[in-house]
Amino acid sequence: MKKTGAILLLCTPIVDLILLFATVIDLRNGQTASFIHGLAAIYIAVSIVFGHRMIQWADGQFAYRFVGGPKPEPKHKPKYGQAHARHERVTWFRYFTAYVIGCVLLLAMIFFIGDAERTDALMGTVKVWSIITAVDFLYSFSFTLWPRKEKNNSTTLS
């Protein structure tokens, strides 16, 4: 099973490159960019940043369900306090890395095409993704200022 996971992990960048080249060729052949072209850049960026973790998770699930491997241990995220706040920040920085890579790809496609009318959807994707990233920042870092407190389950009868 480890060989299969390693092969899939090695194939991920190849699939990413094929997708990138197909997108660029499509746009170079005169196609007007759409959200789908922008989604390709987002997919590539997320794949670069989160691909290894996703493939490890999928490999463990597949081995357990179909090959009789050990049951994967669930990863418990901290739910309260500073540990939770730190987890949210670390996760946001990973997401932000994907955002930066994706925006670089989108802006490179816009520059490469050189026609603002045909690449308007790509710029729209950058704008929407920027808003989503800003909202996610506010949410993720809010736990640094206001850490989530554990709920007190004891009830007092008067």
91, 37 Cβ separation under 8 angstroms: no
> Which backbone phi and psi does 66 adopt, to 5 degrees?
-115, -20
Side-chain-side CA neighbours of residue 15 (13 Å): 14
Q: Which residue has the tokens 């520059």?
A: 111
- Please name the amino acid found at residue 125: T
- Beta carbons of 80 and 19 less than 8 angstroms apart: no
Q: What is the pTM of this model?
A: 0.79
Residues 48-62: tens digit of each pLDDT: 898 877 777 777 887
Rounded mean pLDDT, 65-69: 83
| pLDDT at site 59 | 75
pLDDT beyond 80 at 4: no
